[in-house]
Amino acid sequence: MSHSAHIPSHRKPRRSASKLALRAGVAGGVLGTIAVAGAAGPANAEPVTETIEMPTLGSLDTAGLASAVAASAEASQQEALDQSLETQENAALQKAAKEAKKAKAEADRKAEAERAEKARAEAEAKAKAEQERKEAEERASRDRERTQLSTASTSDNSSTVSDSGSSGSGSSGTSDSGSSTGSSSNETQAPSGSAAAIVAFARAQIGDAYVMGGTGPNSWDCSGLVQAAYRQANIDLPRISSSQSSMGTSVSLSNLQPGDILYWGSRSGSYHVAIYVGGGKYVGAQNPSTGVVERSLDWDTPSGAVRIL
């Protein structure tokens, strides 16, 4: 029986041809040495009979093979671990790069939005400042015009008093300097006295805003403007349009004088009033869209008129 027969063939590790040849050579060398020693002995010596047990190939290789297998397994495991770590590092680097790119894009977007918002705010502030400047100039212009008109009205009132004291038979037969016999003469004559003050004040408010319940100085409703204009002639009118149109005497639209109050609706139930300024025109606080404007009678023909002066 072979000395290696006790090792099952299916468990016997595969050996390379070089290792088998080396081991066979060692065994042959040992046997040869024994044979030479026997031949060199005395001729009459008794043959030496000795059994030499050769080590099995399995016993010579098992420990080293196990160590090699373990080392190989450890090396494979280390290599796999290194590859796993490298993969994780690459994935982490890619993720970090994506997050950095995303963060930069978000920062750029926010910066652009902030720049746009700042530019918009600056534009709005500039536009507001320009609008306030224009409004201030317009108010100053109206104030100058009102001052000039007030001065002119005072001069006209003084002149009227002087004229009324010196008038005689050469007058036209009327006792009221503000009265007239027909609308045709009023179209070519400038208002004077109290009518001039009323008309001048009304025209000075052209361009002001319309605000329901407004009584000035820069926003009006229709009756608030009429009331304030008549106050320039030291005449106190009621606050609402229906009461204003109920005062004085009714006059036809063909016999209007500057300073007459025009109304829309019925005389005791008017819903809108304005001031006739001569030349077939009137001034009134119309609506929120137009504000205080000067319009022709044909633009919106009134229902009637009353004279208070």
**Whole-number pLDDT of residue 156:** 47
Residues 154 and 226 in one domain: no
Give me the pLDDT at residue 47, please: 55
Provide the CATH number for the domain around residue 298: 3.90.1720.10
Which residue blocks in 167-188 are alpha helix, DSSP H? 183-186
In a shared domain, residues 296 and 207: yes
Give yes or no: residues 227 and 299 share one domain: yes
Residue burial 5-18, b: 16+ Cβ < 10 Å; e: rest: eebeeeeeeeeeee
52-74 pLDDT, tens digit each: 555 554 554 677 788 888 888 88
- Terminal-to-terminal C-alpha distance of the chain: 155
Domain end point (choices 141, 158, 175): 158
For tokens 């009979």, what's the residue?
A: 49
Share above pLDDT 70 across residues of the chain, in percent, rounded to a whole number: 62
Domain end call among 158, 184, 218: 158
Q: Is residue 242 part of a domain?
A: yes
Q: Is 49 among the domain residues?
A: no
Q: Which of 101, 132, 158 is the last residue of a domain?
A: 158
153 and 196 share one domain: no
Residues 214 and 121 in one domain: no
Mean pLDDT estimate for the chain: 75
| Domain identity same for 150 and 90 | yes
The residue written with tokens 């149109």 in the block is 245
Residue 222 lies in a domain: yes
State the pTM of this model. Answer: 0.43
The pLDDT tens digits for 5-52 are 455 555 555 555 555 545 555 555 555 555 545 555 555 555 555 555
Structural domain of residue 239, as residue ranges? Answer: 192-307
Structure confidence by residue, pLDDT tens digits, 222-273: 999 999 999 999 999 999 999 999 999 999 999 999 999 999 999 989 999 9
Write down the pLDDT at residue 185.
39
pLDDT of residue 186: 42
140 & 210 share domain: no
Residue 129 within any structural domain of the chain: yes
SS3 59: helix
Mapping DSSP to helix (H, G, I), strand (E, B) and coil, where does residue 28 land?
helix
Examine residue 34 and state whether it is found in any structural domain, yes or no. Answer: no
On whether both 148 and 232 belong to a single domain, the answer is no
For strands 219-220 and 304-307, give the pairing.
unpaired
Residue 152 lies in a domain: yes
Q: pLDDT per residue over 140-187, tens digit each?
A: 665 565 555 555 544 544 444 344 343 333 333 333 333 333 343 344
Is residue 279 situated within a structural domain? yes
The total domain count for the chain is 2
- Look at strands 209-210 and 219-220 and give their pairing: parallel
Closest CA to 60 of 3, 110, 140, 131: 3
- Residue 185 belongs to some domain of the structure: no
Token pair listed for 75? 């090396």
Same domain, 213 and 282: yes
Burial class (CB in 10 A: 0-12, 13-18, 19+), 204: buried
Whether the CB-CB separation of 191 and 259 falls below 8 Å is answered with yes
pLDDT greater than 90 at residue 277: yes
CB 183 within 8 A of CB 251: no
